Homo-oligomer: A and B are copies of this chain.
Amino acid sequence: MIEIEQALAAIYQRTEPRQAERLPLSQAVGRVLAEDILSDIDSPPYDKALVDGYAVVATDMRGGRGDFMVIDEVRAGDIPCEPLQSGMATRVMAGAPVPRGADTVVPGERAQADDSGDLPLVHLEEPNVRPGQHILPRGTSLQRGQTVLSQGHRLTAIEIGILAEVGRLEVLVHPQPRLSVLAVGDQLVSPAEVPGAGQIRNSTGPMLGALIQAAGGQAVDRGIALDTEPELTRQINQGFREDALVLCGSVTTGAMEMVPRVLRDLGVERVFQGVRVSPGRTFWLGTLGHARGRRFVFGVPDNPVSALVCFYLFVRPAITALAGYPVDEPVRIQAHLADAYHQRGDRPTYHPVRLERQNEKMVVRLLDPRGMPDLKSLAEASGLALFPGGRTDFAPGQTISVIRF
């Protein structure tokens, strides 16, 4: 039996991001880049006016004023025809290119236009005029050849816009990890069946599938394991089409007793079996193959609370590592116990809890301090509270660490 930290280290040591794939932008949000992204353009592509006004040469504004001949009018999307010379002005709209020769923009509210003559004229007055004012120079945002996003970065929605801006319709990313879930247990029946005496429906399998999806993976529900060795071998082999196979079941049932033999015959290497944690003591890890082709087998208990604890402690970190996310530990917060609690076992113990905000403090209520909560009360949990191993009394108000969902 190993410690939680050792188990986690063994998982991280063996997981690397999935083989990168070229995906269209529309599927890339939330994925991790497997290439550096360079800009193929300058942005803005020209010196851009930031306000409506007149582009002129700053030195023409002697004493903060000047009279100009208006030679052109340019909107966003237009191309200025004429380079500007001393004594001339071009009317520019916000977003329009500033013509060559001009080095400043005087805002429209500083202008008096005179359209009475053959040629339009404008009188500008701005005491503190400076070269470069109200102009965004070419390449301020993006320069051609510059790295705009780096390998290993997880793409946000806004960055999908940046990828489009630098000319990408597709991008090389690590795809979502795929995990299959197979429930093992002679007493299990499908949710479609009415359980007979001694039977229960497979609910932990579907719950694990939904947890995998919520953590950013794709889940394939492979139902319930059949109880002959050839059938079990076929089902486990099918599970290896995905990156990982989650076997959930009780170690004491008949089909589960076959599992170690079937896995050994398939060439699965046992990495560890048993972790010093409660619940989840029976969690185990196996692997098949190496490097990027490596497949994982997680052995998860079928009790819903144990399955949830193993998922948050071990399976979720594996999913995020396969997705290529920067190491992403569960969110742990400090919170105050609402009620007294007596810790008995030697193993670090996780209890499903409800977190409540009381004034400025986060308060923690155990869902079922006496026993294992069922799925229905477990649905009210907003986190898992950690009680270190050993016989200890915890007083109300005492601070404990909570993994927040």
Contact = CB atoms under 8 A, between A and B. Distances in A.
Contact of A374 (B43, B160, B168, B192): B43
B164 A206 contact: yes
A161 B142 CA distance: 49
Contacts of A213: 26, 29, 157
A85 interface: no
B169 A191 contact: yes
A26 B378 contact: no
A136 B78 CA distance: 78
A152 B194 CA distance: 27
Given A76-B250, A167-B191, A205-B164, A140 B200 contact: no
B206 A192 contact: no
B376 A162 contact: yes
A361 to B, nearest CB: 13
Given A207-B158, A375-B165, A40 B197 contact: no
A100 to B, nearest CB: 13
A371 B50 contact: yes
Contacts of A374: 43, 140-142
A159 interface: yes
A377 interface: yes
Nearest to A148: B376
Choose among A75, A162, A192, A195 the residue with the greatest number of B CB atoms under 10 Å from its CB: A162
A128 interface: no
A40 B194 contact: yes
A203 B162 contact: yes
A253 B77 CA distance: 9
A299 interface: no
Interface string A221-250: 100000000000000000000000000001
A389 interface: no
B203 A191 contact: no
B210 A29 contact: yes
**How many chain copies does the complex carry?**
2
A77 B198 CA distance: 4
Interface in A22-68: 25-26, 28-30, 40-41, 43, 45, 50
Nearest to A134: B371
Interface in A131-169: 136, 140-142, 148, 156-165, 167-169
A8 B205 CA distance: 41
Interface in A70-93: 75-79
B375 A201 contact: no
Nearest to A221: B26
A160 B198 contact: no
A15 interface: no
A402 to B, nearest CB: 17
Choose among A168, A213, A252, A375 the residue with the greatest number of B CB atoms under 10 Å from its CB: A375
A158 B381 contact: yes
A291 interface: no
Contact of A78 (B160, B198, B210): B198
A26 B162 contact: no
A266 interface: no
Choose among A186, A192, A207, A371 the residue with the greatest number of B CB atoms under 10 Å from its CB: A207
B379 A210 contact: no
A371 B136 CA distance: 10
27 contacts: A25-B206, A28-B210, A41-B194, A43-B374, A45-B195, A50-B371, A76-B187, A77-B186, A79-B198, A141-B376, A142-B376, A148-B376, A156-B214, A156-B379, A158-B210, A158-B378, A159-B379, A160-B206, A161-B204, A161-B375, A164-B201, A164-B202, A164-B203, A165-B201, A167-B201, A168-B191, A169-B190
Given A156-B379, A168-B191, 8 more contacts: A26-B221, A41-B195, A45-B200, A76-B187, A76-B252, A148-B376, A158-B304, A160-B210
